[in-house]
Amino acid sequence: MSRNLGDTFCKFCGEPVVMVEEPRAITRKEAGVYFDVRDGYSYCNMQCANAECPVCKAKYLAWVSLKNCLGYTRHHYGDQVNERGFFDLSFRSTFNDEEGAEDRPDVIVQWERVAHTSPWPRCIGCKAKMRKNWDDEWKCDECRYAHQRAKHAASTEWKASG
């Protein structure tokens, strides 16, 4: 068991976790026995913030900075915060990497990957596979004709534009 998850994404659904309050000093209640000096380290003066997953609503404590904490001053904890303003997470109710009942999500998120495919466009002249050029037109490198997709949805025919 460790204090932190070593991640800034939700353990349950994989989405980016966000802070729901401004950074502040951790409280004795939040840190528990780790607030005071223990094995040369203390979380007193740790900058943190309540955080949660916007998708499943799991509860976390965002780690903003440890640079004023005893034992961590020689390291650069907190100098590498992400674009969301923190560098690590722990579960809010337990202050470690194992969640308590109140930290668990409100919903179960199941991601499904859906891929829609269609045949790659081919030139109607030489049947070679085409590419899109800089102005979003299909172009055949083999016979050098630019092509546009037919306007009506029923047709899958490609026509020369010029």
pTM, to two decimals? 0.66
Kindly give, in sequence order, each residue whose CB lies less than 8 Å from that of residue 84, ignoring residues fewer than 6 positions away. 8, 16, 17, 18, 19, 62
pLDDT at 52: 97
Domain ranges of the chain: 18-103, 119-162
Top-confidence residue, 143 or 33: 33
pLDDT tens digits along 78-117: 567 788 989 999 999 999 999 999 999 988 888 777 777 7
Q: Is the dihedral of CA 68, 3, 30, 64 positive or negative?
A: positive
